[in-house]
Amino acid sequence: MPYVLLLFSILTLGLVGCGFVAEVEPAVGPTVKVETVPPLVEIENEAKPEAWLPVIKSEKVLDMIDYAEEEAAFQNANLPIDLLELPAGFTIEVVATNIKNARSMALSDMGTLYVGSRAEGKVYALEDRNQNGKTDRLTIVAENLNAPNGVALKQGDLYVAEIDRILKFTGIEDTKANSPQPEVVFAGYPTDKAHGWKYIAFGPDGDLYVPVGFPCNLCDPENSLYGTITRLEVENGSNPEVVAAGIRNSVGFDWHPETGRLWFTENGADSLGHNFPADELNELTVEGAHFGFPYCHNDTPDGTFGNGVDCQHYELPRQTLNPHGAALGMKFYTGDLFPESFKNQIFIAEHGSWNRTPPIGYQVSLVRLDETGATTFEPFVTGWVKSDGTVWGRPVDILVEPSGALLISDDESGTIYRLKYAS
């Protein structure tokens, strides 16, 4: 029998080698049923065990799994948002709270909200990954900075204003969770902490606008960079140009959507009376114009520095605001969500007085412009001061979302609010 098998094998190899193929019937055995396994398909919204979900491992990013749980970390049931009073048709909601010392804001094309701070020394990135209007992830982009109040975005890069420096975080959307190291764009601003924190924004010309406050309540320093709004070309790191002067301290500005002119808020001096001087809303009509400080307060000469001064020789405010109300962030309303009558009108965040009796501000205000240029000033969102005088919120900055809603930051409660309209 072994010889027969050997002979059969030799013959088979010979036939194959000659190009012939022999079909051999397989041995008959028991039938085995094979079930076809379909390819793995991920079903949208299918519930999966926790082990399937990725867990972010970073000291600077909160480890999160369930979005509802993540969102809960940025909500506070004890926040008395029901005390806020709004005009008819408007509603307000909490996007995120527990964001310590939340100050200026900048929104990326990817929907990430970057938020600066003062006392905390941090820059935050807030994300809403499921796009339901609530923050579900917080990243600390940078920390241990020198009052990084101002934040601005240009071509995917994040710019941050410290007291004396402008920093650049390149490609921030790709690097925000990895403790990115910034490039120093400019480091020549004054180092004074008094009125040294900065709001920054890119203008229609593509340059970065940076204010420099007076380093005092009321003084006349020799350094001509104090009391200005400057323009900085971030690409070449050149020295800043002064575009407006005589400004005690501005922590908010914007450009008119039609004229392209710069408008800005200005905080008046303290200790001259509970009702004087008023904060101001100003318009820059001529580059290099002087707005009067410290020689004039509104249209009144200062008792020390204004002897013999005619205040009409300086730029007067377009609108006087609450005295000591601390008008900070301002934005022209460019969205389509609110009624048409709000188009190109100005919303202002009033941070609130610190030593006035009685306190004033602590609100979002509305300045209306008409065809003749005349203005009116009125409160729009109020209620951040309780009936017993307790302050629980202080608005800082305003941002118009692509949806047309307004975002409002509050550094007292560490909250970002969203103001919406529904007819």
pLDDT value, residue 152:
98
pLDDT value, residue 66:
59
CATH of 54-421, one of 1.10.357.10, 2.40.100.10, 2.120.10.30, 2.60.40.1180: 2.120.10.30
Tell me if the bond preceding 294 is cis, omega within 30° of 0: yes
CB of 367 within 8 A of CB of 290?
no
Q: What is the pLDDT along the chain (423 residues), one digit of tens a residue?
A: 443 333 334 334 333 333 333 333 333 333 333 333 333 233 233 333 333 223 333 333 444 445 888 999 999 999 999 999 999 999 999 999 999 999 999 999 999 999 999 999 999 999 999 899 999 999 999 999 999 999 999 999 999 999 999 999 999 999 999 999 999 999 999 999 999 999 999 999 999 999 999 999 999 999 999 999 999 999 987 899 999 999 999 999 999 999 999 999 999 999 899 999 999 999 999 999 999 999 999 999 999 999 999 999 999 999 999 999 999 999 999 999 999 999 999 999 999 998 888 899 999 999 999 887 778 999 999 999 999 999 999 999 999 999 999 999 999 999 999 999 997
pLDDT value, residue 144:
98
pLDDT value, residue 67:
81
pLDDT value, residue 390:
94
Residue 217 φ/ψ, nearest 5 degrees: -80, -50
pTM of the model as a whole: 0.84
pLDDT value, residue 372:
79
Residue 382 forms beta bridges with which residues? 85
CB of 247 within 8 A of CB of 226?
no
Long-range contacts of 378-387 (CB under 8 A, 24+ apart): 380/86, 380/87, 380/347, 381/84, 381/85, 381/86, 381/92, 381/408, 381/419, 382/84, 382/85, 383/83, 383/84, 383/85, 384/83, 384/84, 384/352, 384/410, 384/412, 385/352, 385/359, 386/80, 386/83
Residue 240 φ/ψ, nearest 5 degrees: -70, 145
Tokens of 113: 């909200």
Element (H, E) at 313: none
Within a 13 Å sphere around the CA of 292, how many CA atoms are in the beta-carbon half? 26
3-state secondary structure of 326: coil
* Distance of alpha carbon 188 from alpha carbon 315, whole angstroms: 28
Residue 210 forms beta bridges with which residues? 230
3-state secondary structure of 112: coil
Q: Where are the domains of the chain?
A: 54-421
pLDDT value, residue 277:
97
